[in-house]
Every structure is written in C-alpha cells, then in structure tokens.
Chains A and B, each alone.
Chain A
Amino acid sequence: MIWLFFVVSLNTLAPSPARAAEAVSQPLAEDPKDEFRWAFSLAADVRWERISDQSVEPRALPSVALGWGVRPWLFLGEYSYDEAESEGSAILNIRRRSRSILFWGQYQVWELRRLTPFFSGGLGARQEKVDSVLYSESRTDEGRWLDQYGVGLGLRFSGLDPLWLSLEGRVLFCGDFEPNPQFGTYLRLGFFF
C-alpha cells in the first residue's frame, strides 16, 4: 500500500524531463530558489530505543536521502540502516539488524533570512533481522516489513546554498518499536543540485 502510494505520488510530483527543463530554462523573476531542485543528504538518524538492559538509550543510524524540493515543499526518500553489536556470551548471543525506508514531506512555515523552520510528515516501512548463535548453531531470522510513520519539527540552515544543514526532532510510530512511539533526532547535511 505504502509503495503504491509512493509510486503514485512520485508520478504525480516528478515533472517530466521536458517540464523540468522548462522549469530550469524559465528562471522565475521573483526568486530563483522557487524552482524545482533535486536534493541529496547524508545524516545521523538518532533514535531512542530500549536496549537489552531495559533502559532507553539513543542509537545513531547512518542515513541517506534523495528527493526534490520546490518551495515551500521538500520531499525526501530516506534509507537508514542499523547493525548492533552482538550481545550475550560466547555460546549464546544475538545481533540485531534493522533497515528503514521513510518518505518525508517537509513544509516550511515561513522563511527567515537563513533559518527555515519546517514541519514534516513521513511514512514508510521497517524490517528487523536477528542473527542468533547457540553453541555451534547459528541462524538468521527476518521479520516482516512493518509500516512506520512519523511527524517532525525542524530547522533548516541554508546560508551556503547549494549546501544546507538541518536538525529535526521526530516522533516515529511502528508496531515493533519499543518504546512506541519512538523519539528521534535527525541531523542532516544536504545539497541541492
């Protein structure tokens, strides 16, 4: 369902090459930043989650994103990957892995000189895998893809165009999160092209 939704939105939103060329070739008089621009970013996706000793700790996941922006919107598809250290003893241990895909829409409320506050909403899916070892037996089990979605509030710094930096606070929801919802921050370095 999510995928279908995304494909539809992609087709609706992405301008045809001709239209994109049109957008580039017809600069807008009032502000050149209003044009359609591709965006790419690298980020630390920090999520507060419960760990084996039962406490809730932050975990930083590397994350990449690709999308496009046209003011006041920025749309990004994000991929984050997590591979925890193996925990337990030599004869019985567990290593957890997860991957997460989220499609975000960011809407900027107003634009200050260089700082742009924005709201964001995202949806996607997430999958966990676990490698378990018991004596000489080892195995990998894969969970189902589960829907996840989130909302966020952030601040974008874009004084060094085409580079931009943003910091976002997020609340994410997914059936297998613990705790659910999960709080997170997303620190991003991106550029437009």
Chain B
Amino acid sequence: MKMKLKDKTLVIWVACIWFMITCSSCSRPVSDEQSPRVLLPWIENGQYHFRVVELRTMESLKSLRGSVARFSVGVNGPEPIVRALRRSDGVFVPTDPMSQNLLSLYANLERLAELDDQVGVGYLLPRPWKISINTNIVNENQRRLHNNAQYDADRKMIEFTSFESRGDLPLTVNAGAIAHEHFHALFDVLVPSPASLQDCSAMEADQIAARREARLRELYRVRLLRAMNEGLADVWGWIHSGDPRFVARSRPEDGELRSLEKGIQPIWTAKQFSDYNRAEGFCPRRSDQDFVYQLGNQYGLAFQWAFGSKDRVPVAHVVIELLRKLKKDIMNFPDGDELKPALLIENLARQNPRQCPFLISILQPKDQSELTWQCWETL
C-alpha cells in the first residue's frame, strides 16, 4: 500500500513538472495585443459613461507604449505599469485607478492626435508625445500642487500632478482638460513665445525704478498672449470633449471663472487689460493671475456663442487659422504695443465675415469702430 502510493505520487509529481513546463506558454500576457479594446470612463454628448474604446495605436498595454504617447512617472522616472483584466469577450478592464487614468489619458491623446491630423497640424508635434504623471510641481510658495496639470515648454512634456481624491473627476480622465494641455503644445509651436522675463525677485530698488515701464510692457505682452493661449486652450478642450463645463468637473474652484456655458462677456480694451496688469505690480508673486484667465474666458465665450451649435471640427480649423495669423501679427509688431485684446476678435471676424455683427457686438465701443470698418470692407 505504502509503496504503491509512493510510486503513483512520484508519477504525478513528474507529470506535474512536465505540465508546468509545457503550460508556461498557456497564459498569454495582457500586453501583446494590437489595438486592444478597453473599458474606460468616456465622454459622450457631454456626459461620462463607461464605454469600450479601441486604442488603435497601442503597442503594449502593460507598459502603455504606443505611437502617440510615452509615459513616465515623474519627468525622469520609469514607465508606469498598467494592470487590467481581460474579459471573455477580449475587452480589457483596468483594475486600479492609476491604470484607469493612464489608459483614459492615452485614449484621449490618441483622439487628439487624430484631430491634429484632421486640421493639418499633425506634423507639428513629433510623436510619441511625452507625458509625465505624478509629477512634482510646486507653486510660487514652494508648495506641492495636487490635481493640476501643465505643459512644460522646455521639456516639451505634458505634466500631471498626483490626484487627490476629492470627489472630482481626475484630470487624466477629463477629456477637456487633456485637450487643454495638448493645445498649449500646439500654441507653443505655432505662436512665437516672447523672450522669458528676467527674474525680478533679487532686483535692487534702483534697478526696479529704471526698468519699471519696460518691464510692465513686457508683462503686458506676456500676459496678453497667455490669456489668448488659455482661452483658446479651453476652446480646444470644448472642441475635443463637447463639454463646456469641463474645468468645473475637476477643479470646481475655477469652474465658474472658466465656464463656457454662461452669458457673453465683452472683450476688454487694451487700457482695461493694462490697468489689471499694472495693478499686479512690477514683480508679482503669482504667475497665473485670475485676470489672465478672465480675458481668456472672454475669448472662449466668444467662440462658444459664435460656433457653439455647429460641428466642432471646423471650429478647430478656425482656431488654427487664428494662431497662424497671430504669429504674423507678432512678427509685424515686435514691440507688442499694437497687440490688444480685441486683436483676436478682429482676426476672427476677418476669417468669418458672417460672424461680424456678433463679434462687433462683444467689443467695447472704443474697439468697435475699427472692426466695423474692417467688416464693411470684407463684406
């Protein structure tokens, strides 16, 4: 009895080892499927639902490698790793929040790349784009930011901070927010950025006095372009997502300021914008002042009211044309004195003469006369 059992168990033991060796190829890893389909939080008709999304350019799901984007944890960190289960119908379902965020981010970037191609700017930003998650970004008080994102023009990288679960939609899932950051990359290559400002924190009083006016002019130019950049980036966010309140979904504190679903606001005159600029002082501590976003939102609302009910892809064409024209204007006015908030609206009117009456109506009386004249000429 004892011997018999031993003999049999030995046979089973050998069979076990043989089975393990031959079966080592049974479980295919999750990573090597081309164009995987993934269940993700996805926006449709302005609402988020779980949807199966095909990642057409994905090469490795597990290390999130595809022709559109490459990811790192921190700006110089390792590639993140995605965990997902595979349903019997072949659809992958992320099994932790980070994986869900990353896959949703990739899916949105893929659609944004398609939009770039559709409007003829696909060649501008070499792919794969660089994306950093869990990035350590600090504010002017050296406090680490959470639930935030930025486009880093020096590194040519979109950077997301870590997400603190506060009951809001993570930025990496928010289609509008992802498109907003991507637009900054487009703006950066299409519109020449002004020379970076000299660091003012260590300047002596007499240096400040000598440079005050020149510095304020520089600040005016930098902030006006920033307002245009931020405003049009929110328009790009709406074009991609169809969601005019995408900011509020992830950053409720900025939601009202940047909502594209409110009454039209008249565009500030150069004098009004300059007054806000001066009020911030020579060496402001904060870099992203509300008044910059306020003017940006005036641009955003102008787009929303003029084109909001139409197919969104042609609006993307309009935005790109506007950037190309802005580039010419900046080259023509190197000192920036002629740059004024109404410039963007004037250019928009020239490109879209049918919108002239509406666009004139949102300018202040001082800026209206010039645009009226231009519109008459075009018509």
Contacts and interface: CB of A to CB of B under 8 A. Distances in A.
Partners in one complex: yes
Interface of A: 1, 5, 9, 12-13, 15, 19, 22-23, 26, 28, 34-36, 50-54, 70, 72-73, 75, 87-94, 96, 105, 107, 121, 123, 128-130, 132, 134-135, 137, 139, 141-144, 146-149, 173-176, 178, 180
Given A15-B5, A73-B9, A175-B27, A141 B85 contact: yes
A139 B168 CA distance: 19
19 contacts: A1-B23, A13-B12, A23-B1, A54-B73, A70-B9, A88-B100, A89-B170, A121-B13, A123-B16, A130-B93, A130-B95, A134-B48, A134-B50, A137-B49, A141-B93, A144-B88, A146-B27, A149-B23, A175-B26
Interface string B160-198: 000101111110010000000000000000000000000
A62 to B, nearest CB: 20
A89 B167 contact: yes
Contacts of A180: 29
B366 interface: no
A26 B11 CA distance: 25
Contacts of B5: 13, 15, 36, 70
Contact of A105 (B9, B50, B94, B99): B9
A25 to B, nearest CB: 11
Given A23-B1, A134-B41, A175-B29, A147 B96 contact: no
Nearest to A22: B1
A178 B83 CA distance: 7
Given A22-B1, A26-B1, A92-B173, A5 B73 contact: no
Interface of B: 1-2, 5-6, 8-9, 11-13, 15-17, 19-20, 23-24, 26-30, 39, 41, 48-50, 62, 73, 80-81, 83-88, 91, 93-100, 134, 163, 165-170, 173
B96 A96 contact: yes
What DSSP secondary structure best describes chain B's contact surface?
A: mixed
A35 to B, nearest CB: 8
A105 B16 contact: yes
Given A93-B97, A94-B95, A134-B41, A105 B12 contact: yes
Contact of A28 (B2, B20, B81): B2
B87 A141 contact: yes
A135 B13 CA distance: 51
Contact of A51 (B27, B96, B173): B96
Nearest to B23: A147
A85 to B, nearest CB: 11
A93 B173 CA distance: 12
Contacts of B8: 12-13
9 tightest CB-CB pairs across the interface, nearest first? A175-B27, A143-B85, A89-B165, A52-B96, A88-B97, A90-B167, A141-B93, A128-B85, A52-B98
A130 B83 CA distance: 11
B22 to A, nearest CB: 10
Given A53-B98, A89-B168, A121-B17, 13 more contacts: A5-B19, A9-B12, A12-B8, A73-B9, A93-B97, A105-B13, A121-B13, A130-B94, A132-B50, A137-B49, A148-B27, A176-B86, A180-B29
A15 B4 CA distance: 10
B86 A92 contact: no
A28 B15 CA distance: 29
B49 to A, nearest CB: 6
Contacts of B23: 1, 123, 147, 149
